[in-house]
Amino acid sequence: MTTKKKTSAGAIKTAVASKAPPARTAIVTAAPPTPYELQLKTWDRAVQLFTQRKFAEACDAFRETARGPAAHIADKARSYLQICERKTSTPDVDFRTAEDHFNYGVERLNSRDIERARFHLGRALGLEPDAEYIVYTMALCCGMAGDAAGACENLKHAIELEPRNRILARQDPEFSALAAQFPALRALLGTDAGNV
């Protein structure tokens, strides 16, 4: 009696695999990025820096992007570059008078650069402490900075210097918004529910 040796299917596959020649591994090398791809990558980095308000670093990235081959991206980069350069440049203005400081303070206040506005309005008040329009604007600036006490103190002084400032403040939408936030300012303006 002869016995047949049973072989499993797995054993056959293993035997076949061991007799196969070793597989060749293909070395795939990535092609270097094209100038267009590099420009896009630099553009993305520049926009990210711009969004993070890192304007000095964004300037360099936009400058590099503007030298790329895609004209439509280069044009956008030049536009953003101008904005970044404006944001990073400091004005070479020589403030000599209270009026100079006041005007620049108002410009900064309109741009919502409250800290710089407050500084220049303070300098203007240092030069002309009884200029009611400067005191009035400083009251608004203090209120926008969240300084209720400063807003009330300055507005009270502005009203003492020129009583019409109370009426102006009541009609001023920015003061109305501040009065809604600060009860002391509301009382000073006489716009409490009992005084209306």
Supply the pLDDT for residue 90.
66
| Global pTM exceeds 0.85 | no
| CATH number of the domain located at residue range(s) 98-189 in this protein | 1.25.40.10
- Is residue 153 classed as helix, strand or coil in its secondary structure? helix
Q: Enumerate residue ranges in the chain where pLDDT < 50.
A: 193-196
Supply the pLDDT for residue 55.
87
Supply the pLDDT for residue 196.
38
Is-contact 84 59, C-beta < 8 A? yes
Q: Domain residue spans in the chain? A: 35-88, 98-189
Supply the pLDDT for residue 56.
87
Give the C-alpha separation, 132 to 168, whole Å: 12
What secondary structure letter does DSSP report for 4? P
Name the amino acid, one letter, at 171.
Q
Give the dihedral of Cα atoms 45, 48, 52, 58; nearest 10 deg.
Answer: 40
